[in-house]
Chain A
Amino acid sequence: MATMTYREAIRSAMADEMERDERVVVLGEDIGLYGGTHLVTDGLLDRFGPTRVIDTPIAEGGFTGAAIGMAMMGMRPIVEMMTWNFSFQAADQIIQNAAKLRYFSGGQASAPLVIRGPNGGGVQLSAQHTHSLEGFYAHFPGLKVVAPVTPHDAKGMMIEAIRDPDPVLILEAGALYGTKGDVPDEEFAVEFGQARVAREGSDVTLIGYGRQVNMLLKVAEKLQDDEKLSAEVIDIRSIRPFDEDTLVESVKKTNRAVVVEEQWRWFSVASEVAALLQEHAFDYLDAPVERVSGAEVPAPYARNLEAAAFPNENQIMDAVRRVAYRRV
C-alpha cells in the first residue's frame, strides 16, 4: 500500500495505463505545459511527449469530438474537462455521438474514451462554475458515469474506465484532490456497477456519492453519539451502471434510508434511488425515503449562501431523525 492524494491517484492511473498501452493519450486545456489547472496531469508531458499529452485550445466540443474520432479508430483517449461545467459545450458530442455511436451503427463503431474532471461545488465559484452533472449524464443510455470519493477508487475506477470498451465519464470530487488515502501498489481496478459499504450499521442507511460520502461518515459518528443510532453508509460510486442490490440489501436490514446529493432534487439521482427503494424494498421500509439535496437555485457566490445551498450535516441529521421517528 502507498499513501497518495486523490490527485496523485488519478495521475498514477493515467501514467500506468499510458505506460502499458500506447493507444492511451490525454487531451484537454492546459494539461501539458501548464501541468493541468488542478495539476492532475502534471509531469505527463515530460514523460510521454506532446503527441500523447495534447494541449488543446479552449474548444470543448471540438476536442471532445476529436477524441471520439480517435476512439473510433482504436485509440484510448482521456479527455480532461477542466471542470464539468464546461462540458455543456461538448454535450452534443458526448450525448449525440459518444453515447449513441455503437447503437446507431448497429454495433460497428464505438467510442471507448474517458472524460474526466472535477464535478460539484463548494469553493465559491458561483452559478456557471458549479454543477453536479451525474444525474444529467447518467440519464443517457450508452454512457457510463462514475463518481469516486477515495484515492483508492479514483485510481481503480480510472484504470477500469480506460480499459472499458464504452465511453466513461468520471466525475471527480474536485474539492478532494488533496485528500490522502491508501492505494494498492499492485495493479488493480474497481469494477463498475458495485456500490461500496463505507460503514456498516443496522438502524438507518445513509446513501450518497462523491464528497457527500465523507459528510455521511461524519454524520454517522454523530448519530451514534447523539441518537444512539447505528448508521450504515453506502457510497454509490457507480451511477450508471447502478448497483441496486447493495442498497436494497442494506435497507432490508435497516428499514430506513436517507439519500444525499449535492445536485438539485428534481429528476435527480436521489429521486431515482428513492423510487428504486420503494419498488424493491417497499415491504421493508418503516418510513418514507428521505432525500437531502441542493437548494433549487443557481449556485450563489457568498460563502454563507453557498453553504446554505448544499446539504449539510444538520439537514442530514434531521432527515435521519424523521425516518427514525425521533424528535427533530
Chain B
Amino acid sequence: MATTQSTSKKRKATSSGANGSKPDLPEVPAEKLLEFYRQMVYVRLFEEACQRGFRQGRIGGYLHVYIGQEAVAVGLLDAIQEPDRVITAYRDHAHALLLGSPPNAVMAELYGKGTGLVKGKGGSMHLFDVPNKLMGGYGIVGGHIPLGVGMAYAMAYEKTGGLVQLYFGDGAIHNGAFHEAANLAGLWGQSGLSPTLFILENNQYGMGTSVERATANTDLGSKFDSYGIQHEKVDGMDVVAMYEAAHRLSEQVRTTGVPFAIEAMTYRIAPHGAADFLEKYRSKEEVKEARQRDPIGLLEARIIDSKSGDESTLEAIREELRPIIEESVTFAEESPEPVLEELYTDVYADS
C-alpha cells in the first residue's frame, strides 16, 4: 500500500494565521498521534476499497473520495463535543466514519443495500448519522451552507452550548448560497447567535476548475472579511495543525456564539469523482508533488521522528484496520437490497 509508505522528503509543516497569528503546534502525546494515524489510515483504506467497488460496478452513481484530505476531518473532528453537530457536502465518507458510523453501514449504503446508513436511499453523497451528530452530506455545491448556519442559530437559541462544524469546498465559495449564508452568520454572530465553525476545505479544485480559474481573488479566506467573520489558514495536510486549530477555535466559537472560519489548505490527491479518469486539468507532476506531502506520510514521519512509534507500530495499526475494511465490503456485498416497500417510505412523516 503505497499511500502509507513513510515519506523521506518530509516538509516542515507550516501553519500561518491569516489574521496575523501563527500558533505554535503543541506537543502531542504518542498515543494521540497513533490514534490520528489509525483514523487517517482507516479513512484511506475505506476510500480505496470504495474505489475498487466502483471499478467493479458494485457502487453506482457518483463517488467522491477523501484521499489526500484525511488530516482535515481527523484533526477537526477530534474537537467535537456532545452538543455539536456536523454538516458537509458530498465528499462525506470520512466524516461519517470518524463520527462513529459503522463502516459496514457506510459501505452498505454505497452498495445500495437495505442495511445502509440511510437505508439505500441516499448513497455516497447523502450519508446521515444523526445520533452520531452527522446532519448530512449534500450533493448541490453550496446548497447546504445555509442549513449549517440555521442549525447553529437553533443551537444558540436553544442554549445547547454546541457549535456546528460546517464543511464545504473551495468550489462552493463562489456560489451565492455561501455568500448569503456567511452574511447571515456574521450578522447573527453579532448577537452571539451563530456558533458556526466554517471549514473551507481548500483542495485547490472545484471539480476540475482550479482556484485561479474560478476567481480573481484567490485568497479564499478573505471572502469571509466581507461578512465580518474572522478566519485563519491552517495546513490541512498536517493533522496536528488541524487538531490544534480545531480545539482552540471551537472553544472560542462555543463560548462566544460568534462564527469563525478555518481555511484548511489541502489537496485532493484522488480524482474529483470516480468518473474523473482523464484529469486533463492538472499534471501528473503536480499530483506527484502533492503526494510528497501526503498527510499520512507526513504523520508517519512525525511519529517516527518523535519516537512515538516505529514502522512496526504503524504496520500493526494497518494490519488491525484491514480486516475491518474487508469485513465492511463483505457485509455490503452480502446484504440484501432494500425491500421495495421502502420506495414509498420517508417521503412524509406518515408515509
What residues of chain A have their CB less than 8 Å away from a CB belonging to chain B?
25, 50-51, 56-57, 59, 61-75, 77, 92-93, 96-97, 101-110, 141-142, 144, 165-166
What residues of chain B have their CB less than 8 Å away from a CB belonging to chain A?
85, 87, 116-122, 126, 128-130, 135-136, 138, 140, 143-155, 157-158, 176-177, 179-181, 183-184, 187, 191, 193, 345-349
* Most chain B CB neighbours (cut-off 10 Å) among A71, A103, A104, A141: A104
B84 to chain A, nearest CB (A): 12
Q: In the complex the two chains form, is B126's CB within 8 Å of A61's CB?
A: no
Q: In the complex the two chains form, is A65's CB within 8 Å of B128's CB?
A: no
Chain A residues within an 8 Å CB radius of B129: 108
Chain B residues within an 8 Å CB radius of A72: 135, 147, 150-151, 154
A279 to chain B, nearest CB (A): 20
Chain A residues within an 8 Å CB radius of B345: 107
Question: Complex formed: what's the CA distance from A104 to B90 in Å?
Answer: 12
Chain A residues within an 8 Å CB radius of B120: 106
| Contact A66:B144 (CB < 8 A) given known A73-B151, A106-B118, A107-B345 | no
A-B contact pairs, 23 of them (CB 8 A): A57-B183, A57-B184, A63-B146, A65-B145, A65-B146, A66-B146, A68-B146, A69-B146, A69-B150, A73-B151, A73-B155, A74-B154, A77-B150, A92-B177, A96-B140, A96-B143, A102-B346, A102-B348, A103-B346, A104-B128, A105-B346, A109-B136, A142-B348
Chain A residues within an 8 Å CB radius of B180: 57, 59, 61-63, 65
Of the candidates B118, B146, B183, which one forms a contact with A104 in the assembled complex, judged by CB atoms under 8 Å apart? B118
Chain A residues within an 8 Å CB radius of B85: 73
| Contact A103:B146 (CB < 8 A) given known A51-B157, A72-B135 | no
Question: Complex formed: what's the CA distance from A67 to B138 in Å?
Answer: 16
B176 to chain A, nearest CB (A): 6
Question: Complex formed: what's the CA distance from A65 to B179 in Å?
Answer: 12
Query: What residue in chain B is nearest A106 (Cβ atoms)?
Result: B118
Q: In the complex the two chains form, is A166's CB within 8 Å of B348's CB?
A: yes
Question: Complex formed: what's the CA distance from A179 to B268 in Å?
Answer: 60
Q: In the complex the two chains form, is B143's CB within 8 Å of A59's CB?
A: no
B296 to chain A, nearest CB (A): 31
A165 to chain B, nearest CB (A): 4
Question: Complex formed: what's the CA distance from A61 to B138 in Å?
Answer: 16
Question: Complex formed: what's the CA distance from A74 to B159 in Å?
Answer: 13
Chain A residues within an 8 Å CB radius of B136: 101, 105, 109
List 8 other contacts, CB 8 Å, given A63-B180, A72-B150: A69-B151, A70-B150, A73-B150, A101-B136, A105-B122, A105-B136, A106-B116, A106-B119
Query: What residue in chain A is nearest B157 (Cβ atoms)?
Result: A51
Chain B residues within an 8 Å CB radius of A103: 121, 346-347
Question: Complex formed: what's the CA distance from A57 to B186 in Å?
Answer: 12
Question: Complex formed: what's the CA distance from A130 to B183 in Å?
Answer: 29
Chain B residues within an 8 Å CB radius of A142: 347-348
Q: In the complex the two chains form, is A92's CB within 8 Å of B183's CB?
A: no
Q: In the complex the two chains form, is B154's CB within 8 Å of A69's CB?
A: yes
* Most chain A CB neighbours (cut-off 10 Å) among B119, B154, B187: B154
Q: In the complex the two chains form, is A56's CB within 8 Å of B118's CB?
A: no
A26 to chain B, nearest CB (A): 13
| Contact A106:B154 (CB < 8 A) given known A62-B180, A66-B147, A96-B140 | no
Chain B residues within an 8 Å CB radius of A59: 180, 183-184
| Contact A108:B157 (CB < 8 A) given known A61-B146, A62-B177, A65-B146 | no
Question: Complex formed: what's the CA distance from A107 to B88 in Å?
Answer: 18
Question: Complex formed: what's the CA distance from A66 to B144 in Å?
Answer: 9
Chain A residues within an 8 Å CB radius of B183: 57, 59, 62
Q: In the complex the two chains form, is A66's CB within 8 Å of B348's CB?
A: no
* Most chain B CB neighbours (cut-off 10 Å) among A73, A75, A109, A141: A73
Query: What residue in chain B is nearest A99 (Cβ atoms)?
Result: B347
Q: In the complex the two chains form, is B146's CB within 8 Å of A105's CB?
A: no
Q: In the complex the two chains form, is B130's CB within 8 Å of A102's CB?
A: no
Chain B residues within an 8 Å CB radius of A64: 146
Q: In the complex the two chains form, is B128's CB within 8 Å of A105's CB?
A: yes
Chain A residues within an 8 Å CB radius of B151: 69-70, 72-73
Chain A residues within an 8 Å CB radius of B147: 65-66, 68-69, 72, 97
Q: In the complex the two chains form, is B149's CB within 8 Å of A104's CB?
A: no
B88 to chain A, nearest CB (A): 13
Query: What residue in chain B is nearest A50 (Cβ atoms)?
Result: B191
Question: Complex formed: what's the CA distance from A66 to B143 in Å?
Answer: 11
